[in-house]
């Protein structure tokens, strides 16, 4: 479903997210005064080490956690409102699948539960399987699939309702080089269809060629927010990180 016109696909304004540590009221800050905007139809990469805030930001945008302070909007809507309207799909880093049934059966159940009627559900499932190169193994037991194959089932799940915004947490995790190339092609296809993609990544080969925007995180703060040309001009993301952090 396309995003409503007008506002950016994603906008965060001075977002802070604190998590409680214990009953004494101590907290840990996961996001610290984060402001950023992602244009419609762009692929935005959130880059940083574990614990830098990438996953928390994606969960916030998916409506799974709420900001302590600040504002997060999806095309001008609160995240949970956008999710209810089918505008957003979220893929967590660890794809949780049942140990029974096949990928096709699993996706069809999800499509029906999501409100699609039988024929529309079948069409959506076959399209998602084709986009993620799962057709040949669609009837294999889920329990027999490799980590990379299970990751692709998760991607297919995210594509079922053709959301306007895809939130992907480490989508290349567990994928071999061939599957990574297929992922890049899939993301480029989503962009060509006018969808917006926000993904987190430690390392995605050729990421700088694929993405339109890069946001570098460190300890919950944004160190850099710019496009690929700026990244290349400044020597790459690794050099930008080294320049922005003390030795």
* H helix and E strand count, the chain: 9, 9
Position 129 in a domain:
no
User: Does residue 124 sit within a domain?
Assistant: no
Tokens of 52: 């830098």
d(CA 18, CA 27) in angstroms, rounded, equals 6
3-state secondary structure of 17: strand
The verdict on residue 159 lying in a domain is no
CATH of the domain at 50: 3.40.50.300
In the chain (247 residues long), the average pLDDT of successive 10-residue segments reads: 79 95 87 96 92 94 96 95 92 87 95 91 94 93 89 90 92 80 87 93 69 93 91 83 76
Report the Cα 42 to chain-centroid distance in Å: 12
- Is residue 77 within 8 Å of residue 85, measured between CB atoms? yes
**16 in a domain, yes or no?**
yes
What are residue 177's phi and psi, to 5 degrees?
-55, -40
Long-range contacts of 231-238 (CB under 8 A, 24+ apart): 232/208, 236/208, 237/47, 237/208
**Rounded to an integer, what distance in angstroms lies between the CA atom of residue 210 and that of residue 70?**
30
Domain annotation covers residue 135: no
DSSP string, 162-212: --SEEEEESTTTT--HHHHHHHHHHHHHHHHTT-EEEEEES--TTHHHH-S
Continuous segment of H or E residues that includes residue 43: strand 43-47
Beta carbons within 8 Å of 206's beta carbon, 6+ residues apart: 184
pLDDT at 173: 77
Range of the domain at 33: 10-93+168-244
Is there a domain that residue 192 lies in?
A: yes
Residue 1: the pLDDT is 66
C-alpha distances out from residue 3 to 66, 87, 106, 188, Å: 21, 6, 27, 18
Structure tokens at 103: 């990928």
Q: What is the rounded CA–CA span in Å between residue 243 and residue 231?
A: 12
In a domain, 126, yes or no: no
Contact 142, 100 (CB under 8 A): yes
Residue 144 tokens read as 């027999």
> What per-residue confidence (pLDDT) applies to 198?
97
118 inside domain: no
Q: Would you say 106 and 178 are in contact if contact means Cβ atoms under 8 Å apart?
A: no
Q: Per this entry, what is the length of the chain?
A: 247
d(CA 137, CA 28): 43
Domain count of the chain? 1
pLDDT of 147 reads 82
């Amino acid at each position: 479903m396309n995003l409503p016109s007008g506002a950016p696909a994603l906008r965060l304004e001075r977002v802070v997210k604190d998590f409680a540590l214990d009953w004494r009221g101590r907290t840990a800050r996961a996001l610290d005064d984060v402001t950023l905007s992602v244009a419609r139809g762009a692929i935005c990469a959130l880059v940083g080490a574990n614990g830098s805030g990438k996953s928390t930001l994606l969960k916030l945008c998916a409506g799974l956690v709420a900001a302590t302070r600040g504002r997060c909007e999806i095309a001008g809507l609160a995240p949970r409102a956008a999710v209810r309207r089918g505008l957003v799909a979220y893929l967590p880093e660890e794809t949780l699948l049942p140990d029974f049934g096949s990928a096709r059966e699993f996706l069809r159940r999800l499509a029906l539960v999501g409100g699609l009627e039988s024929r529309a559900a079948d069409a959506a499932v076959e399209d998602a399987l084709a986009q993620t190169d799962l057709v040949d193994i669609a009837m294999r037991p889920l329990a027999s699939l490799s980590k990379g194959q299970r990751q692709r089932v998760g991607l297919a799940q995210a594509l079922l309702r053709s959301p306007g915004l895809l939130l992907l947490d480490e989508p290349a995790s567990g994928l071999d080089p061939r599957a990574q190339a297929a992922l890049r092609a899939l993301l480029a296809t989503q962009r060509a269809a006018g969808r917006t993609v926000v993904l987190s990544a430690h390392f995605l080969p050729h990421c700088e060629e694929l993405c339109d925007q890069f946001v570098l995180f460190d300890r919950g703060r944004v160190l850099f927010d710019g496009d690929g040309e700026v990244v290349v001009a400044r020597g790459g993301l690794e050099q930008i990180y080294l320049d922005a952090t003390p030795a």
